[in-house]
C-alpha cells in the first residue's frame, strides 16, 4: 500500500483556449449529423409563431404593473417549456432513427497497454464493486483505491480489501480533500498511477469482466479518441425498495439519451465507467477541480480535437440512491455543481472554436435544465398565486353530493382569457407534459401496470423537487460555492457533520438534512395547496402534496406507513387535473397550470 503527498495540479477554464494542433494525429474525430437541433428549433419556431401572439395578447388584460409582469412571465416561460418539450420529443425520434442505422463494428486491436483502474471512495467503499475491478479479464492492469475516507472504520475496510490482493491493488491517500473528486484523481495520476490508459470507477459501480477488454480497442483504434464511456444500468438485485421502484428510470434514460450522441451530439464523460488516455489528461492539465469535473474535462478535450465515444454494449451496474435522503443529497450536489460549471465554463464553451454548434447545444440543453428549475419554481408560484389574481374573478362553485349542496369560493378565468382554453392550446400543453416521460411510456408500454407504478412513484419524487432545486440554485448564486456531497449510505454519519451553522454555512451547502430546507419545502407545499383549493386546480394540489411529502420521507423512509398510500397522490391528482383540462376544452373551467410534471 502506498500513501503519497497531495498535488496542487488543476486546470483552469482558460486552458480550453490553448493552441489546437491536430495535424500530427493519424485520425480525426467523426463528423456529427447536425439535424437534431434544427428539428427542435424548427418545430418550436412554428409553435411560437402560431401560439405566441395569442399568449402574449393576454397582457392586454392586465390592469396593474404586477399583473402585466405576471402575465408576461407566464407567457415567456410557457414558450421555454415548449422548447424543452420539442427537445425531448426530438431526442426520442432521433434515437429511433439512430437504432435503424447500421452500427459500426467493434474494432479489432491486439495491443493490451497497461491500464490503471482508479476506484474513488469517500466513506462509501463497496467491496463488491472493488472486486469487479480486480476481476477484469485483461492481462495488464492495476487497481488503485483512491481513498478519501475520513473515518478509521472506512479506511480499515479499504486496507483489509487491499491486503487480499497485494500484487494487484494499491491504496492511495492524500492529507486533504481539496479539489473534490477531481483533486483525488489528479493526485493519483500525478504521483503513483503512470499507466498510459486509466479507468475511472465510482465506489458503487460494478464493472463487467470484459470492461477493459471491450473498451480499450475503441480507444486505441483512433488517436483522436480521448475517452470511451460505457453504458450503465441500475443493479437488478438492489435490496432498497426505493432503488427497485425508481432505478428502472436510469436504465431507460441511458438507453434513449446516450447512444445517439455518437452520431447527433456531444458524448460526455459521465464521471465513471470510462477509459481515458493519460496523454490527454496531461495535455489539458488535469481534471478541472470543480464538482462537474467530468463535463469540464470532456469540453477541454474536445477543444483540442479529441472526442469521446459511447459504447452501448459494455454495461456497468450502478446503485440508485438507496434512500430518499441519498437521492435528495445527490440532487443538490448535481444542481449546485451544474451551476458552478455554467458560471465558470459556459462563456468559454460558447466561444470555443473547435466545438460545433450542435455539440454546444447538446451540452447546454441538459445542463441548463437544472438551473432553470429556479425559474420553474417561480413560474409555479406565479401560476398558482399571482396569475389567478391577474386573470381571475371570484366565482362560487356549487357541488351537490347526495342532495346536499356545497358552495366553494373559487377563482375562475375572466372574460378574454378563454383564448388559452382551446383544443390547440391544450394539445401543446399536453405535449409539454408528456414529452419528458415519452421514453418511459414507449419502453414500458407493454407492461402497463409497471408503467403506471413507475410514473406514480417518479412523480412523487421528481415533480416535488422544485423547492429543493430553487434553494440549491439560490444558495449557489449567493455563495458562489459548490459542495461535493457524498451520497453513499456508509457516509451518512460523516455527511451530517457541519449541518449546524450560521446563514453562510446554510447558503454554502443548502443540505437537505437542514431543518430550514425542509421547512421551506413543506411551507411551499402548504401554500400551493391553499392556492390550488382557491383556484380549483387539482393538478396543483398534487404538486403541493408532493412538496410536503418529500421532506417527510427524507428521514421517514420510502413507502413506509402512510407514505405507502400518499406517494400515489401527486400522480393521481395531476392526472385528474389533466382530465379536467380536457374537460375545459369542452367549456368547463380551464386549468392554467400544465407544466409541473417531470420538467
Domain residues of the chain, as ranges? 13-30+114-322, 60-98+372-585
Quickly tell me which residue has 382569457 as its cell.
Answer: 417
596 contacts 427 by C-beta, under 8 angstroms: no
How confident is the prediction along the chain (599 residues), in pLDDT tens digits per residue? Answer: 333 333 333 444 444 333 334 344 456 778 889 999 999 999 999 999 999 888 888 888 888 888 899 989 988 999 999 999 999 999 999 999 999 988 888 898 889 999 999 999 999 999 999 999 999 999 999 999 999 998 999 999 999 999 999 999 999 999 888 888 999 999 999 999 999 999 999 999 999 999 999 999 999 999 999 999 999 999 888 889 999 999 999 899 999 999 999 999 999 999 999 999 999 999 999 999 999 999 999 999 999 999 999 999 999 999 999 999 999 999 999 999 999 999 999 999 999 999 999 999 999 999 999 889 899 999 988 887 788 777 767 666 676 767 777 776 666 666 666 666 678 888 898 899 899 999 999 999 999 999 999 999 999 999 899 999 999 999 999 998 887 776 654 444 444 444 555 677 777 778 899 899 999 999 999 999 988 887 777 888 999 999 999 999 997 788 888 888 999 999 999 888 887 766 655 544 443 333 332 22
- 3-class SS string, 192-209: CCCCCEEEEECCCCECCC
Residues in the chain, overall count: 599
Burial zone of 41 (CB within 10 Å; 0-12 exposed, 13-18 middle, 19+ buried)? middle
- Diameter of the chain measured on Cα atoms: 86
Closest CA to 381 of 43, 82, 77, 16: 77
Burial zone of 504 (CB within 10 Å; 0-12 exposed, 13-18 middle, 19+ buried)? exposed
Q: Residue 171 pairs with which residues in a beta bridge?
A: 145
Write down the architecture of domain 13-30+114-322 according to CATH: Alpha-Beta Complex (3.90)
Nearest-angstrom CA–CA distance, 452 and 433: 15
> In the structure, how many helices (H) and strands (E) does the chain have?
23, 9
Nearest-angstrom CA–CA distance, 182 and 564: 40
Q: Residue 413 pairs with which residues in a beta bridge?
A: 392
539 contacts 593 by C-beta, under 8 angstroms: yes
Q: Residue 400 pairs with which residues in a beta bridge?
A: 405
Amino acid at each position: 500500500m502506498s500513501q503519497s503527498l497531495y498535488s496542487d495540479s488543476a486546470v483552469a477554464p482558460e486552458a480550453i483556449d490553448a493552441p489546437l494542433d491536430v495535424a500530427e494525429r493519424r485520425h480525426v474525430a467523426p463528423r456529427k449529423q447536425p439535424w437534431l437541433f434544427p428539428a427542435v428549433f424548427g418545430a418550436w419556431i412554428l409553435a411560437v409563431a402560431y401560439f405566441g401572439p395569442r399568449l402574449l395578447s393576454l397582457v392586454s388584460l392586465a390592469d396593474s404593473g404586477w399583473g402585466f409582469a405576471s402575465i408576461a412571465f407566464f407567457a415567456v416561460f410557457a414558450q421555454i417549456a415548449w422548447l424543452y418539450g420539442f427537445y425531448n420529443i426530438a431526442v426520442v425520434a432521433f434515437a429511433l432513427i439512430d437504432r435503424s442505422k447500421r452500427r459500426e463494428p467493434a474494432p479489432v486491436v491486439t495491443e493490451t497497454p497497461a491500464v490503471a483502474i482508479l476506484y474513488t471512495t469517500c466513506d462509501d467503499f463497496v467491496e463488491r464493486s472493488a472486486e469487479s475491478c480486480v476481476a477484469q479479464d485483461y492481462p495488464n492492469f492495476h487497481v488503485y483505491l483512491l481513498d478519501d475516507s475520513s473515518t478509521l472504520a472506512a479506511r480499515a475496510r479499504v486496507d483489509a480489501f487491499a491486503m487480499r490482493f497485494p500484487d494487484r491493488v494499491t491504496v492511495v491517500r492524500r492529507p486533504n480533500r481539496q479539489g473534490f473528486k477531481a483533486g483525488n484523481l489528479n493526485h493519483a495520476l500525478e504521483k503513483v498511477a503512470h499507466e498510459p490508459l486509466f479507468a475511472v470507477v465510482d465506489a458503487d459501480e460494478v464493472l463487467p469482466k470484459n470492461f477493459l477488454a471491450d473498451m480499450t480497442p475503441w480507444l486505441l483504434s483512433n488517436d483522436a479518441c480521448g475517452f470511451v464511456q460505457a453504458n450503465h444500468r441500475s443493479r437488478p438485485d438492489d435490496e432498497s425498495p426505493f432503488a427497485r421502484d425508481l432505478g428502472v428510470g436510469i436504465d431507460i434514460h441511458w438507453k434513449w439519451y446516450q447512444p445517439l450522441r455518437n452520431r447527433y451530439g456531444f458524448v460526455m464523460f459521465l464521471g465513471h465507467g470510462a477509459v481515458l488516455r493519460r496523454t490527454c489528461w496531461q495535455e489539458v492539465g488535469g481534471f478541472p477541480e470543480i464538482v462537474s469535473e467530468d463535463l469540464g474535462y470532456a469540453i477541454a478535450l474536445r477543444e483540442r480535437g479529441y472526442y469521446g465515444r459511447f459504447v452501448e454494449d459494455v454495461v456497468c451496474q450502478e446503485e440508485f440512491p438507496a434512500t430518499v435522503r441519498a437521492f435528495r443529497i445527490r440532487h443538490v450536489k448535481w444542481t449546485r455543481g451544474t451551476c458552478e460549471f455554467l458560471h465558470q465554463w459556459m462563456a468559454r464553451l460558447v466561444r470555443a472554436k473547435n466545438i460545433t454548434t450542435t455539440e454546444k447545444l447538446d451540452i447546454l440543453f441538459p445542463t441548463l435544465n437544472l438551473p432553470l428549475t429556479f425559474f420553474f419554481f417561480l413560474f409555479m408560484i406565479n401560476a398558482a398565486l399571482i396569475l389567478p389574481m391577474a386573470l381571475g374573478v371570484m366565482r362560487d362553485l356549487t357541488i351537490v353530493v347526495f342532495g346536499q349542496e356545497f358552495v366553494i369560493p373559487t377563482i375562475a378565468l375572466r372574460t378574454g382569457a378563454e383564448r388559452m382554453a382551446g383544443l390547440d392550446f391544450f394539445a401543446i400543453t399536453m405535449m409539454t407534459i408528456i414529452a419528458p416521460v415519452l421514453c418511459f411510456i414507449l419502453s414500458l408500454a407493454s407492461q402497463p401496470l409497471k408503467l403506471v407504478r413507475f410514473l406514480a412513484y417518479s412523480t412523487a419524487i421528481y415533480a416535488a423537487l422544485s423547492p429543493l432545486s430553487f434553494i440549491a440554485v439560490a444558495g449557489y448564486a449567493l455563495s458562489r460555492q459548490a459542495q461535493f456531497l457524498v451520497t453513499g449510505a456508509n457516509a451518512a454519519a460523516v455527511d451530517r457533520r457541519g449541518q449546524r451553522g450560521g446563514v453562510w454555512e446554510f447558503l454554502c451547502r443548502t443540505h437537505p438534512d437542514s431543518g430550514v430546507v425542509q421547512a421551506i419545502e413543506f411551507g411551499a407545499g402548504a401554500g400551493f395547496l391553499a392556492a390550488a383549493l382557491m383556484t380549483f386546480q387539482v393538478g396543483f394540489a398534487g404538486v403541493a402534496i408532493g412538496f410536503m411529502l418529500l421532506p417527510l420521507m427524507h428521514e421517514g423512509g420510502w413507502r413506509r406507513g402512510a407514505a405507502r398510500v400518499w406517494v400515489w397522490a401527486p400522480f393521481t391528482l395531476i392526472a385528474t387535473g389533466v382530465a379536467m383540462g380536457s374537460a375545459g376544452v369542452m367549456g368547463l373551467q380551464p386549468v392554467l397550470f400544465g407544466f409541473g410534471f417531470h420538467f
